[in-house]
Amino acid sequence: MTSPDAEAQCAQLAELIRPRLRPDTVLVGIHSGGAWVARRLREILELRNEIGLIDVSFYRDDYGARGLHARVRPSSIPFDVEGRPLILVDDVLYTGRTTRAAINELFDYGRPASIQLAVLADRGRRQLPICADFCPWKVDLDPALELVLSTDASGRLQWSLAENAHA
Amino acid sequence: MRNPQLNANGELTHLLSTEGLPREVINHILDTASSFLKVSHRDVKKVPLLRGKSVFNVFFENSTRTRTTFEIAAKRLSADVINLDVTRSSTAKGETLLDTVDNLVAMHADMFVVRHAASGAPHLIADHLRRLGRNDVHVVNAGDGRHAHPTQGLLDMYTIRHYKQDFNNLVVAIVGDILHSRVARSDIHALTTLGAAEVRAIGPQTLLPTAMDKMGLRVCHDLRTGLRDCDVVIMLRLQNERMNGALLPSAREYFHCYGLTPAMLALAKPDAIVMHPGPMNRGVEIDSDVADGPQAVILPQVTFGIAVRMAVMGILAGN
Amino acid sequence: MNEQLLHLRNAHLIDPKNGLDACLDLFIVDGRIAAIGQPPTGFAAERQIDAKGLIACPGLVDLSTRLGGIETELAAAVAGGVTSLACPPDTKPPLDEPGLVERLVRRSETLGLARVYPIGALTQQLAGEKLAEMNSLTRAGCIGFSQAKHPIVDTQLLLRAMQYAATFGYKVRLRPQDQFLAREGVAHDGEVASRLGLTGIPVSAETVAIATALQLAAQTNVRLHLSRLSSAAGVALIRTARHAGMPVSCDVSIHHLHLSEMDIGYFDSNARFDPPLRASSDRDALRVAVRDGLAAICSDHTPVDADGKQLPFAEALPGASGLELLLPLTLLWAKQAKLPLVLALARITCDPAAILGIEAGSLAIGSAADICLFDPDESWRVTPEALRSQGKNTPFLGYEVSGRTRMTLVGGRIVFEA
């Protein structure tokens, strides 16, 4: 599989979102891939509102099996969530569990008016009743593989495939 | 010798002492704590991490203050917290420490937060759990005798890192009753592991343990010499029972020789911070003008303490 | 089993007392050693014991064994090759009444295992206030007097006790530890105690007490034995006194010969001793003192049950089970220090016998046939099951040691056979 251009996908995703933007809409990126995508979207969409960043480590449902190992980054929601339309941004939508954790965490900051989900890639194989509102790329991959978004030396986003460490 | 704090995978399974904690483990705790600190600023100051887990605060020695900080931390992780007052009651009935532990394990405890007057009591419990094969039950030392108070040590490191960022060039002065202080021991080991440039132990000979040089400390009996150009001053609490003649002539004389006054603090670097594990004896080890002054970070220590304890429990319960 | 005529064949005999170190046959008649090398005239063995590959030495003599359950502990003694042992007076109740002493002697004679030599209490109830009836206690069987772990704080009373003992030529044994300097202490006042936050016992607690004891002994001419030395400075004081011609003797526990404060590790209560394990430099000085013959070795056998050890370090009871490890640990020391067996075995046979003033610890013709027959190379693992003593408490649990007793004879009778 030749990986599509992630930067181009960001532009596509931005165009999907643009018609649905409201003046008070804010983006919330999930660490770490979702945070990069959210920053790109903010630039492309020329949003004035600051984006929020969340780390769902404290809300994951696999804590019992995996513990707290990866470096946890502080969540930062520099705006009042109460009554706001939010767009949750992640790089990959797969089982839906990360999204579930993120929604739970957001509700601990307040009651948003709405939450929509924007992702660069949708791998299908959902385990929870969750779907993306905005997604430029649907792809079916071997569960043994992990789809990883990273940044290259020049800071450009790129896709790669890795063996799934937890499979 | 096997490190009793780590499991077979080298992960932290008990927190018994800052001694022997690898640097990356300390940093992981401090990094995780900074995430938890943000949680404490939210409307909902809780995360669901330890939902359904039972944390038993087992205090064989009374300390409402410390117990409360652990209780808050556990509750902010959504754990069920059970406070057991075992001060002498069960031991008076002839039940041994390990009998008590066996009972609580049978009640499906997931974590013990232990305070005990005897150095090494949490080690004994951890060793007992290992022999029972219960590596799913975790022990947090909340202070054992004169030995260790590792969460206090870690929150002190969090505080220092918060204000000074880097440990490499730091000169840290620990002042007072180091002999009887588990906080001092925990600070010393953590500072050594994190690479502090110099750690000074300041106090009269009656309050300093022997062979301190083996712990990598510079011993000063004179407060002026000890404070000169240091970046961090950690004042220790002087317990009332030490003031009455056997170790020190009087609290008054102690304050005169080792009390931290603004004039003394002026000998340290201008941006030096002043720490104290609390509760303070104003006018004994510390002057109110210093305790309430701009260089004191004693209240932030308390705030950081909750986050650090959340991080410790969050990491332990997942290993 | 009661063999009247016993022929011990092919054993490697080591008798430090008589400088014997050779493969010779040994002949026992009526419980005594009748001949070595050639049989006595007309000797016809009722039983022959082939001891090829084994060492036969005098039965070990132990300067201090706490008995607890007398039957199991005396069985443990002979399983460890110990045939004579001194029992300190801190029994419950303490050995300050002739009746108690007689009962202990009678009970041990009935058991017919190791020979028990009671040490009487120097003061009534070991309280350090009134002198015990030393003369009556001696007639009941005591071979010396001590305070066990309860020092006499009142130096005037200590002087009087020594004067009274010296009057009759009784030996006084003291454990040198100043109780004020050792107050609440549980470990050597050094690096490890400082690190672990354990209350320290300074070396001065020992040296101050030794100096006091030596001064009073010099004044009274009492025969003084100092038990359980733990420090290099303590050794130096006794060396000086001996050079000055004082008849003072001393001993070191087998544990202190091998272990140091470092062995406390993470609060291992099996490494809690009284006096405490000290610095490795202290241990090295103790090894030199024992090598030089300044000090004898003692098992300091102290059985403690699990309840007494499964406690935080400071609350755990001090002491270790030592009877069955005395021989293997002495052999280990000899190997490490590259000492001939004849020298090493002297420290657990004739030397302690001389200190106790008993006829034991020798294979001389005519002496009682108290013999330990052991395989110096047989290794075994120290486990609770392997120990016959009720005390399973030893810091050597799990260790592999060399040297196993194969047979023990007391007065020519086989009292242990493996």
Give C315-327 pLDDT, tens digit per residue.
Answer: 999 999 999 999 9
Q: What six digits make up the tokens of C331?
A: 């052999």
| Domain extents in chain A | 6-139
Please give the mean pLDDT across all residues of chain A: 92
CA distances from C249 to C15, C206, C229 (A): 21, 15, 11
Peptide bond preceding C118: is omega within 30 degrees of 0, i.e. cis? no
Q: Which pLDDT belongs to residue B92?
A: 58
Chain B residue closest to A54 (CA)? B35
Peptide bond preceding A32: is omega within 30 degrees of 0, i.e. cis? yes
B180 DSSP assignment: T
CB contacts of B6 in chain A (<8 Å) are: none
Q: Is residue B13, in this structure, part of any structural domain at all?
A: no
Please give the mean pLDDT across all residues of chain C: 96
CA angle A77, B73, B299 (to 5 degrees): 80
* Whether residue B129 is found in the same domain as residue B175: no
Residue C201, strand partner residues:
C188
**B3 to chain C nearest CA, in Å?**
9
| Residue B70 structural domain | 23-148+303-317
* Whether residue B136 is found in the same domain as residue B172: no
What are the two backbone dihedrals, phi and then psi, of residue C341, each rounded to the nearest 5 degrees?
Answer: -60, -35
Comparing CB atoms, the residue among C199, C269, C311 nearest residue B96 is C311
Beta pairing, strands C171-174 & C223-226: parallel
Q: Which pLDDT belongs to residue B91?
A: 58
Q: Is residue B95, in this structure, part of any structural domain at all?
A: yes
C200: contact with B, CB 8 A cutoff? yes
Q: Is residue B9, in this structure, part of any structural domain at all?
A: no
Q: How crowded is residue C353: how many other Cβ atoms within 10 Å of its Cβ?
A: 24
d(CA A31, CA C70): 71
Query: Of all helices (H) and strands (E), which one includes residue C332?
Result: helix C326-336
**A61 to chain B nearest CA, in Å?**
9
d(CA B117, CA C198): 11
Whether A104 sits inside 8 A of B315 (CB atoms) is no
**pLDDT tens profile A10-56:** 999 999 999 999 999 999 999 989 999 999 999 999 999 999 999 99
Q: Which pLDDT belongs to residue C18?
A: 96
Give yes or no for a contact between C385 and C398, defined as CB atoms under 8 angstroms apart: no
* Whether residue B58 is found in the same domain as residue B95: yes
Q: What six digits make up the tokens of C127?
A: 């309280």
Neighbouring subunits of A (3+ Cβ pairs under 8 A): B
Residue C85, strand partner residues:
C62, C116
Could you tell me the CATH number of the domain that includes residue B311? 3.40.50.1370
The amino acid occupying position B308 is V
Q: Which pLDDT belongs to residue B42?
A: 84
Q: Which residues, numbered 89 to 148 in chain A, qualify as contacts with chain B under a Cβ-Cβ cut-off of 8 Å?
A: 104-105, 107-110
Q: Which pLDDT belongs to residue C1?
A: 45
* B/A touch flag: 3 or more CB pairs below 8 Å: yes
CA angle B288, B294, B295 (to 5 degrees): 85
For the segment C236-246, the average pLDDT, to the nearest whole number, is 96
Q: What six digits make up the tokens of C354?
A: 């001389």
* Whether residue B295 is found in the same domain as residue B156: yes
The amino acid occupying position C75 is A
What's the pLDDT band for C2 if we cut at 50, 70, 90?
A: very low
Q: Is residue B7, in this structure, part of any structural domain at all?
A: no
**Residues of C known to be catalytic:** 300
* Whether residue B95 is found in the same domain as residue B204: no
First to last CA, chain C: 15
The number of distinct structural domains making up chain B is 2
**B8 to chain A nearest CA, in Å?**
15
Give yes or no for a contact between C99 and C67, defined as CB atoms under 8 angstroms apart: no
For the segment C309-315, the average pLDDT, to the nearest whole number, is 94
B162: contact with A, CB 8 A cutoff? no
Peptide bond preceding B279: is omega within 30 degrees of 0, i.e. cis? yes
Q: Which pLDDT belongs to residue A10?
A: 96
CATH fold for the domain made of A6-139: Rossmann fold (3.40.50)
A72: contact with B, CB 8 A cutoff? yes
**What's the gap between Cα C282 and its chain centre?**
20
Q: Which pLDDT belongs to residue B10?
A: 87
B277 is in an annotated binding site: no
Comparing CB atoms, the residue among B119, B185, B210 nearest residue C313 is B119
* Whether residue B166 is found in the same domain as residue B88: no
Q: What is the dihedral of CA C3, C6, C12, C13, to 10 degrees?
A: 90
pLDDT score of C272 more than 60: yes
Q: Which pLDDT belongs to residue B94?
A: 67
Chain A residue closest to B37 (CA)? A74
Confidence check on the interface: ipTM exceeds 0.90, yes or no: yes
CB contacts of B116 in chain C (<8 Å) are: 312
**pLDDT tens profile B1-48:** 678 999 988 899 999 999 999 999 999 999 999 999 988 888 889 999
Q: Is residue B212, in this structure, part of any structural domain at all?
A: yes
* Whether residue B177 is found in the same domain as residue B307: no
B319: contact with A, CB 8 A cutoff? yes
CB contacts of A75 in chain B (<8 Å) are: 35, 38-39
Asked whether the whole model's pTM tops 0.80, one would answer: yes
For the segment C339-366, the average pLDDT, to the nearest whole number, is 97
Whether B210 sits inside 8 A of C198 (CB atoms) is no
pLDDT score of C24 more than 70: yes
B222: contact with A, CB 8 A cutoff? no
Comparing CB atoms, the residue among B37, B44, B315 nearest residue A68 is B315
Q: What six digits make up the tokens of C168?
A: 């009759």
* Whether residue B186 is found in the same domain as residue B116: no
Segment A45-53 long-range contacts (CB within 8 Å, at least 24 positions apart): A45/A14, A45/A17, A45/A18, A45/A21, A47/A21, A49/A24, A49/A25, A49/A79, A50/A26, A50/A78, A50/A79, A51/A26, A51/A27, A52/A26, A52/A27, A52/A28, A52/A76, A52/A77, A52/A78, A52/A79, A52/A86, A53/A28, A53/A29, A53/A77
For the segment C366-381, the average pLDDT, to the nearest whole number, is 97
* Whether residue B154 is found in the same domain as residue B252: yes
- C-alpha dihedral sign at B237, B241, B243, B246: negative
Residue C250's Cβ-count burial label (10 Å; 0-12, 13-18, 19+) is: buried
For the segment A92-97, the average pLDDT, to the nearest whole number, is 95
Whether B119 sits inside 8 A of C191 (CB atoms) is no
**pLDDT tens profile C75-110:** 999 999 999 999 999 999 999 999 999 999 999 999
Q: Which pLDDT belongs to residue B112?
A: 97
Percent of chain A residues topping a pLDDT of 90: 82
Q: Which pLDDT belongs to residue B163?
A: 98
In our burial notation (b when 16+ CB lie closer than 10 A, e otherwise), range B200-234 reads bbbbbeebbbbbbeebebeebeebeebbeebbbbb
* Whether residue B164 is found in the same domain as residue B296: yes
B282 is in an annotated binding site: no
Comparing CB atoms, the residue among A72, A108, A110 nearest residue B32 is A72
d(CA C78, CA B192): 51
Q: Is residue B264, in this structure, part of any structural domain at all?
A: yes
Q: Is residue B276, in this structure, part of any structural domain at all?
A: yes
**pLDDT tens profile A43-80:** 999 999 999 999 999 998 888 888 887 788 888 999 99
Q: In 3D, which of B313, B17, B13, B50 has the Cα closest to residue B136?
A: B13
* Whether residue B133 is found in the same domain as residue B208: no
Give yes or no for a contact between C355 and C296, defined as CB atoms under 8 angstroms apart: yes
Q: Which pLDDT belongs to residue B88?
A: 58
Q: Is residue B12, in this structure, part of any structural domain at all?
A: no
